Structure 1
Amino acid sequence: MTQTLPPQAQISQPGIEAEMDPRPEFEPRFPGVGRLKGKVALITGGDSGIGRAVAVGMAREGADIAILYLNEHEDAAETVRLVQQEGQRAFRMAGDIGQDDFCRMAVEQAVTELGRLDILVNNAAEQHVAEDPLDISPEQLERTFSTNVFGYFHMTRRALPHLPRGGAIVNTTSVTAYKGSPTLIDYAATRGAIVAFTRSLALALVERGIRVNAVAPGPIWTPLIPASFDADRVSEHGSSAPMQRPGQPWEVASCHVFLASADAAYMTGQVVHPNGGTIVNS
């Protein structure tokens, strides 16, 4: 392993982007051309990392943005500012997507504030390192599935009545769904569940004209990394990828923007793999 980042760690999840060194790169590399003009997107985990990059990328393409987040208020406020800087309206709300009541209230308030809902991005996630499978407690297992799987179900169920024909759902999964992880077993299991969820939901919604796809990032520089691993492991993040570096959030968010747009009109049930060159053969 080689050093790719300065050693650093944070004490709790989901992590704070403002404390990272260097800051993740979220800004799109190209001017918008109105691919999402007039649309409204709701993004879970939209305060930072991949979620922030998706919010800014979709705003640049003309969408108004609602972001949901757990408790990272300063990061969320900055993302709202960035969306508004792109000339779009923004709404934010804090809470736990593992709770169905919160998901119901969040969707209702987002629709009230922004007038409609066209795109749902299920992105929020948590992960916890366990060197031994016996260290995964029932409480940790339930918490990881609550956020990473149940949260996606809750948000989808609450959003579906508002999504029109032509709407889109984009789920964030992970390369760990395909290659596994010996120290993130419960997390990898949830990511595999999201692949199956994406494929099944896509088939169920074809007749409604709603497309469902997913993005499976590799090692990306987001707040979840220093909030999950010790400083030494953080310093080597991404070095095992064929490109020998961590990806940046903007390099992933462009996939979400594409899948949400009419450019991907003939794609549903698919997974895009911005993972630095890892071949997953699926």
Structure 2
Amino acid sequence: MDEPKSVPPQVQDQQPGSQKQMTPQPATEAPGVKGSGKLQDQVAVITGGDSGIGRAVAVQYAREGADIAVLYLNEHDDAKETVRLVEAEGRRCIAIAGDVGDEGFCRKAVGDAVAQLGRLDILVNNAAEQHPQESITDISAEQLERTFRTNIFGQFYMVKAVLPHMKKGARIINTASVTAYRGSPQLLDYSSTKGAIVAFTRSLAQSLIKDGIHVNGVAPGPIWTPLIPSTFSEEKVESFGSSVPMGRPGQPEEVAPCYVFLAWEGCSYMAGQILHPNGGEIING
């Protein structure tokens, strides 16, 4: 696809950020991608599904025949737009607001999703936050705990909540990051959580394969999502993604096919694996 090499400088003053405020808008709808019934009549729960990668996954899952439950923190306008896009594909979609770092919320949200949509076949653990700091000494105990609670505790909580509803053939897909493999000096706590997610994915896959549940992950590179302008300075936003071999940030619609593949029943001989849509960076992971 013919994408610009850079994006205009911009910042947002609150995480996890609003897609509605971004310029240009992230490409999440993949209008040229046609579904083929890979996920017909399945139900997927997607955390962080209101915008960015989560929204793109929701749309492409719907295009493949799935109904969607979108979990999000507080970005109500973005979540409404995701619901609209999924329904435009002819599928059902519900949006549930809350904090995945709260185990009680995860249990209730999963229960509500099953009650309203009838079943649960796919979990996409995608919610995350990041807070750059120049030095480890600048990372407060509160920030450290908050980042781990959202990024990795939330994945544990969601898996615990969905397992009683999952049957043989179910899929769990965890969002890691390229930073888990190459590190990031300004994102020490974030990259640490993403490394934990890789280990969690591999270990959970071994634990659940006997039950016929496949666990895999995706480790995106620099993707144009609301997390970027709500995290970095204008200067860093303008150069975001320029260092990868493709020379540009990726779009959420370019990442979503990885999640479609890993959720598809044809992906039956993969477990504990991580896919790497990262603009050509070789990370040997």
TM range (shorter): over 0.9
Post-superposition offset of 1:259: 0.2
3-state secondary structure, aligned to 1:196: helix
Q: Secondary structure at the match of 1:214?
A: strand
Corresponding position of 1:248? 251
**1:90 corresponds to which residue?**
93
Matched AA of 1:71: N
Question: Are 2:226 and 1:223 aligned?
Answer: yes
Aligned residue number for residue 40 of structure 1: 43
2:21 — aligned with what? 19
- TM superposition outliers: structure 1 runs of 4+ over 2 Å: none
Partners of 2:77 and 2:48 lie apart in 1 by: 13
Deviations 1:22-81 (CA, angstroms, capped at 9, x unpaired): 000011332100000010000000000000000001000000000000000000000000
Counterpart code for 2:99: D
Asked whether 1:157 is paired with 2:125, we answer no
1:141-163 deviation line (CA, Å, top 9, x unaligned): 00000000000000000001101
3-state SS of 2:69 partner: strand
Indicate yes or no: 2:121 matched with 1:129.
Answer: no
Match of 1:269 in 2: 272
Query: Secondary structure of the residue that 2:13 maps to in structure 1?
Result: coil
Contact 1:221 1:247 survives alignment (8 Å): yes
Deviation for aligned residue 1:3 = 6.7
Q: Which residue of 1 aligns with 2:199?
A: 196
Letter aligned with residue 227 of structure 2? L
* AA aligned opposite 1:114: L
Which among 76, 99, 106 is matched to residue 103 of structure 1?
106
- Judged with a 3 Å threshold, the aligned counterparts in structure 2 of structure 1 residues 3 and 89 are, in CA distance, closer, same or farther, namely closer
Q: Under a length normalisation based on structure 2, what TM-score does the superposition of the two structures give?
A: 0.97
Partners of 1:235 and 1:62 lie apart in 2 by: 37
What does residue 117 of structure 1 align with? 120
Contact 2:46 2:54 in 1 (8 A): yes
Q: Which residue matches 1:9?
A: 11
Among 187, 203, 223, the residue aligned to 2:190: 187
**Deviation string for 1:100-132 (max 9, x for gaps)?**
000000000000000000000000000001011
Aligned to 1:170: 173
| DSSP-derived class of the 1:161 partner | helix
* One of 236, 240, 246 as aligned partner of 1:237: 240
User: Cα deviation per residue 1:233-281 (whole Å; 9 max; x = unaligned)?
Assistant: 0000000111110000011111001100112111110000000011011
8 Å CA contact retained: 1:3, 1:235: no
Please tell me whether residue 54 in structure 1 is matched to residue 57 in structure 2: yes
Which whole-Å CA distance do the structure 2 matches of 1:186 and 1:46 have between them?
A: 23
Paired letter, 2:46? I
Q: Which amino acid aligns with 1:193?
A: A
Cα distance between partner residues in 2 of 1:53 and 1:30? 11
Whole-angstrom CA distance in 1 between matches of 2:87 and 2:96: 16
- Amino acid in the other structure paired with 1:94: A
Unaligned runs of 5+ in 2: none
RMSD over aligned Cα atoms: 0.9
Distance, in Å, in 1 between the alignment partners of 2:23 and 2:266 is 35
1:179-228 deviation per Cα after TM superposition (whole angstroms, max 9, x unaligned) = 00000000000000000000000000011000000000000000000000
- Number of residue pairs aligned between Structure 1 and Structure 2: 281
Q: Which runs of 5+ in 1 are unaligned?
A: none
Given residue 204 of structure 2, which amino acid in structure 1 is its aligned partner?
Answer: L
CA contact (8 A) 2:5 2:249 kept: no
Say whether the 8 Å CA contact 2:40–2:65 is kept in structure 1.
yes
Alpha-carbon distance between aligned partners in 2 of 1:185 and 1:243, rounded to the nearest angstrom: 25
1:279 equivalent among 261, 279, 282:
282
Paired-residue identity, %: 63
The worse-fitting range, judged by mean Cα deviation, of 233-242 and 3-12 is 3-12
Match of 1:264, SS?
A: coil
Q: One-letter code of the match for 2:14?
A: S
